[in-house]
Chain A
Amino acid sequence: MTITLTSLDNLEFKVDKDVAERSVLIKNMIEDVGESDSPIPLPNVTSAVLKKVIEYCEHHRHDPVPVQDESDDPRKRSNDIEEWDMKFMQVDQEMLFEIILAANYLDIKPLLDVGCKTVANIIKGKTPEEIRKVFNIVNDFTPEEEAQIRKENEWAEDR
């Protein structure tokens, strides 16, 4: 069965039901509305981003539904992104954040995790100045404030 999804800019995307249901939000909508041909509107997602999200869901359509693996170290790791996902995430920063936002809105946890891990990997090992440069963030701390924060939190660093 095919589902029609409509993006913010009114473009229609036809996808198979099992692909669409990788999004828990869409899955619940389908269950509520019942079998119907009417398109599902996604006013928070532009067509460019929706296209990428659908690409992800299609590639992962046969993945088992993710189970919360409680035995994992509560400190989540980010070094286990599979190769296809890594290539998929090689987009410009703006698209990367749009994908994360969309995954959050559509409730696609694996895609959200991959997106966040990708950003985490960008941050890893960088100094605050390097982080600001990469993400174009303005430093609104005075040097004294920043030194104070640093001093107050040094205890938290892993030795």
Chain B
Amino acid sequence: MDLPEILAQVGLFLDHNDLVACIRVSHGWNNVMQPLIWRRIVVHQASLLNLTTPTARDQSLALPLSLGTRASSPSPPSSSPASPARTETYPSTAVILENARRVHTLIFNIHAPSLVQELVPLLNNQLVQLQVLQYSDDIKHILLANSSTLVHFKCLYNAPLPLTATTPERVEHATGFWDTIAQLPKLRGLELSGAFVYEDHDESFFSICCRLSSLVLKSCRIYTRFRPGTSALPQLRRLEMTMNALASDAQFAFITLCPNLTHLAWNTTGSIPSHSFLRYLSMRNPQCPIECLDLSGTALTDGELANILSHLTLLKRFYAAQSFVSGLCCHFITTSKTDLEELILRGCTLLESSMIQSLLMSLPKLRRFAGYVLKTDDMNPPLTASKSLPLPKLIQNLGKRSLVSSMRLLVPTGSSSVAGISNGGPTESTSPRVNDSQDGEWSSKWVCLELEELDVTFSGFQDPSTNGMQIIFEQLSALTMLRKLVLRDYCSYSSFVSQKVPTTTLGPQMRIYKGMSKLAPLKQLRMLDVQWIPLDMTLDDVKWMVQQWPRLRHIRGVLTCNPREYNRIEQFLEQDYPEIRVEGVYYGMEYINRG
């Protein structure tokens, strides 16, 4: 397996993590794969620290840390707490410029105008994708120099005009912008935040849209009028409209111009005409092509959302964070949409814990999931259910047969003694649990074993006899493909939201003696976010973590409030695992930041 032509082709299908592994395999592999790493460059905060530029302009934006290059003599001692070892892992400006000819994808996550200026003469007819924070003359030059190849352009803050700019000035700037974009014949993807589309730009805007297959508009001001007879946009496959200053019905009119959308995100707080929307969805022949739908933040009711879902036979990804998703949607998903791959229901306050449990038990292809509160009681229900499961009123009003079948969904399949709803019984804390059986048969298991990202708020630890953390660890241990884990504790999270110090310290504990060792199989874990959990980890716990999870690169959370232990942990990680970034974030009244 060492033919370079094949390796080069294979390399095109690998993400950066795999490429970084490949370049270490052998000299031959290194020669082929190393240039591929330079195809995609992301310039972000940490990398800025290592850039030395001929001009000092960018340095004024950087933190007062050492700006060493790899080739230069040792840099002056830094006055900040950041570890000096880390700054050396980022390529210097000189190295970036040297490899500029290899770059196909260039992404700026920070403002780096001098670097941009230095890149202008070096990037010609090569860029396929460009992402910048702000449009400028230099960016315009780069766009035009790469007009024969550029396919995607993303710009986060469009008009760098002073607040005192007059409307004619803004119109003129926007005209210049749209004229430039119109000169990119290969452009198929455009993503803009804060752009302006005035009436003057109707024609050029629509003629650009006609060519696009992907359009994302966030917080833009759109003043165009949709004249009758505006031609449809059959090429558009992906449309995202978020918080734009444009009337809801005009936004909907734009959507109806797009018959072939496979990906639609419509995040508006304005009212959505659900009848017309349903009609638009059901008119697609033979079935609606939408595979990904994002209605986060909208005010559609649970029933309306469930109705929408029922029209989308090809749907694979559904995002409805901060929405009114509840029982009807969950019922529909667990019965008729079990091939969902992504389901994001963060902050859905009407989403009940039993619904979350039933979702996780019904969707085997799930790769990303975010939910709200999941009670450990629902993960491990008592053998005799001592209370009826909460059902939305609408389901309760259904006929008895459908009531029973929908009950079966919400009750985890437990031992045969779970007949459904029982009439009262012993209190929960003393009754035996479904999963306490001797043979270790875990009967309310989640089926989503291919899960890569999980974000759940757990609740119900106050009762020590149910040993909530054990249940959580047991269940999480099956998710061997997990790459990103966000754990929240309901008590801490809600106290933070209400600005009170949490009244209990009895929260989830990431400790080995509490069973964290069960999580050893999570070998793919790259990111652990435990900022919403009160932790008191010891050095041994942290050592266990970094040894068992070789891919771990990012931890968010304050690992312990004990200052001595914190220092020991910090020292250990800095010395032995400098590649792991630890972010302490705001928790309670203390603010500790590191790295």
Residues of B within 8 A of A141 (CB): 24, 26-27, 30
CA gap between A48 and B22 in the complex, in Å: 30
Interface residue ranges of A105-146 to B (CB < 8 Å): 112, 116-117, 119-120, 123-128, 131-132, 135-141, 146
Would you call A139 and B25 a contact (CB within 8 A)?
Answer: yes
Contact A155 B22 (CB under 8 A): no
Q: Mark B205-220, 1 if CB is under 8 A from A, else 0.
A: 0000000011000000
State in angstroms the CA–CA spacing of A70 and B213 once bound together: 9
What's the nearest-Cβ distance from chain B to residue A29, in Å? Answer: 21
Residues of chain B with a CB closer than 8 A to A123's CB:
10, 14, 18, 21-22
CB within 8 Å of B: which of A10-26? none
Of the candidates A97, A156, A157, which one forms a contact with B1 in the assembled complex, judged by CB atoms under 8 Å apart? Answer: A97
Q: In the docked arrangement, what's the CA distance between A155 and B96, Å?
A: 12
B281 interfacial by beta-carbon distance below 8 Å: no
| Cross-chain contact A70 with B188 (CB below 8 angstroms) | yes
Please tell me if the beta carbons of A154 and B25 are within 8 angstroms of each other in the complex.
no
Cβ of B488 within 8 Å of any chain A Cβ, yes or no, is no
**Contacts between the two chains (Cβ within 8 Å), count:** 128
CB pair A116 B105 closer than 8 Å? no
Q: Mark B189-228, 1 if CB is under 8 A from A, else 0.
A: 1000000000000000000000001100000000000000
CB-nearest residue of chain B relative to A130?
B21
**CB within 8 Å for A140 and B27 given contacts A71-B189, A76-B13, A157-B16:** yes
* Contact assessment for A131 and B21 in the assembled complex, using a CB-CB cutoff below 8 Å: yes
Tell me the bound Cα distance from A112 to B527 in angstroms: 34
**Nearest B residue to A150, CB-CB:** B24
- B104 near A153 with CB under 8 A, answer no
List A contacts of B18 (CB < 8 A). 120, 123-126
- CA of A158 to CA of B18, assembled, Å: 10
**In the bound complex, CA of A120 to CA of B10 (Å):** 6
Check if B19 is an interface residue, CB within 8 A of chain A.
yes
7 contacts between A and B (CB under 8 A): A76-B13, A131-B22, A149-B23, A152-B91, A153-B23, A157-B17, A159-B581
Find chain B residues with CB under 8 A from A53 CB: none
Q: In the complex, what residue of chain B is closest to A94 when comparing beta carbons? A: B1
**Segment 116-131 of B: residues with Cβ below 8 Å from A:** 128-129
Q: Tell me, yes or no, whether A64 is within 8 Å of chain B by CB.
A: no
B22 surroundings in chain A (CB, below 8 A): 123, 128, 131
List of B residues within 8 angstroms of A2 by Cβ: none
Smallest CB separation, B529 vs chain A (Å): 12
Complex Cα–Cα for A157 and B70 (A) = 18
**Interface residue ranges, B against A (CB under 8 Å):** 1-3, 5-6, 9-10, 12-27, 29-30, 34, 37, 39-40, 46-47, 70, 88-91, 104-105, 128-129, 151-152, 186, 188-189, 213-214, 237-238, 524, 526-527, 550, 553-554, 579, 581
Complex-state Cα separation, A74 to B89, whole angstroms? 26
Chain A contact residues: helix, strand, loop or mixed: helix
Given contacts A101-B3, A125-B524, 7 further A-B contacts (CB under 8 A): A116-B13, A137-B25, A140-B27, A141-B27, A146-B24, A152-B91, A153-B37
With A70-B188, A71-B214, A119-B10 as known contacts, state yes or no: A155 contacts B105, CB within 8 Å. Answer: no
A44 contacts the other chain (CB 8 A): no
Interface pair A120/B6, CB less than 8 Å apart: no
The answer for the CA separation of A147 and B152 in the assembled complex, in Å, is: 35
- CB of A104 within 8 A of CB of B89, answer no
Contact residue among A112, A116, A125, A154 (Cβ-Cβ distance under 8 Å from B20): A154
- A157 to B553, Cβ gap below 8 A? yes
Taken together as a complex, chains A and B put the C-alpha atoms of A126 and B10 apart, in Å, by 15
Q: Is A127 within 8 A of B21, CB to CB?
A: yes
Q: A128-B24, A132-B25 in contact; A74/B6 too (CB < 8 A)? A: no
| A107 nearest CB across to chain B (Å) | 13
Q: Which 8 pairs from chain A and chain B are nearest by CB?
A: A71-B213, A120-B13, A128-B24, A135-B1, A78-B13, A71-B188, A155-B90, A116-B10
A140 to B27, CA, bound (A): 6
CA distance A136 to B29 in the complex (A): 13
Let me know if A154 and B10 touch, CB within 8 A.
no
Kindly list chain B residues whose C-beta atoms are within 8 Å of the C-beta of A119: 6, 10
Q: Are the C-beta atoms of B13 and A70 separated by less than 8 Å?
A: no
Q: In whole angstroms, what is the CA distance A101 to B17 when docked?
A: 26
Residues on the A chain within 8 Å of B14, using CB: 120, 123-124
Return chain B residues, CB-CB under 8 Å to A28: none
User: Are A128 and B21 in contact, with the CB atoms below 8 A?
Assistant: yes
Chain A nearest Cβ from B102, distance in angstroms:
12
Q: Is the Cβ of B20 less than 8 Å from the Cβ of A71?
A: no
Task: Give the chain B neighbours of A135 by CB distance below 8 A.
Answer: 1
Neighbouring B residues of A150 by C-beta, 8 Å: 20, 24
**Cα–Cα, bound, A73→B524 (Å):** 24
Asked if A51 is at the interface (CB within 8 A of a chain B CB), the reply is no
**A100 part of interface (Cβ distance < 8 Å):** yes
Residue A75 at the chain B interface, CB threshold 8 Å: yes
Q: A132: shortest Cβ distance to chain B, in Å?
A: 6
- Alpha-carbon distance between A117 and B214 when the two chains are bound, in angstroms: 25
Closest to B95 in A: A152
User: Whole-angstrom distance from the CB of A7 to the nearest CB of chain B?
Assistant: 20
**Alpha-carbon separation in the docked complex, A159 to B582 (Å):** 12
Flag if B37 contacts A156 (CB, 8 Å): yes
CA distance A113 to B339 in the complex (A): 26
Interface pair B21/A158, CB less than 8 Å apart: no
Is the pair B13, A117 in contact by a Cβ cutoff of 8 Å? yes
Nearest-neighbor residue (CB-CB) of B86 within chain A: A154
- Complex CA gap A76/B11 in Å reads 10
Q: Give B8's nearest chain A residue, CB to CB.
A: A116
Cα distance, A128 to B550, chains bound together (Å) = 13
- Which interface residue of B22, B34, B40, B89 has the most chain A CB atoms within 10 A? B89
A139 to B24, CA, bound (A): 9
Q: B182 to nearest A CB, angstroms?
A: 18
Does A151 interact with chain B (Cβ within 8 Å)?
yes
Instruction: Indicate whether A157 sits within 8 Å of B20 (C-beta atoms), given known contacts A74-B152, A117-B13, A137-B25.
Output: yes
* Bound CA span A154–B87, Å: 11
Contacts of A75 in B (CB 8 A): 15, 40, 105
Q: Which of A74, A100, A149, A158 contacts B16 (CB 8 A)?
A: A158
Distance in Å from the Cβ of B105 to the closest Cβ of chain A?
6
A59-81 vs B: 1/0 string, CB under 8 Å?
A: 00000000000110011111000
B547 to chain A: closest CB distance in Å? 14
In the assembled complex, the Cα of A100 lies from the Cα of B238 at a distance in Å of 33
Bound: A50/B68 CA distance, A: 56
Using CB atoms, name the residue of chain A closest to B105. A74
Q: How far is the CB of A106 from chain B (nearest CB, A)?
A: 14
Structural contact, B214 and A155, CB atoms closer than 8 A: no
- Establish whether residues B89 and A151, one from each chain, have CB atoms under 8 Å apart when the complex forms: yes
Nearest CB of chain A from residue B396's CB, rounded to whole Å:
41
Q: List B contacts of A151 (CB < 8 A).
A: 88-89
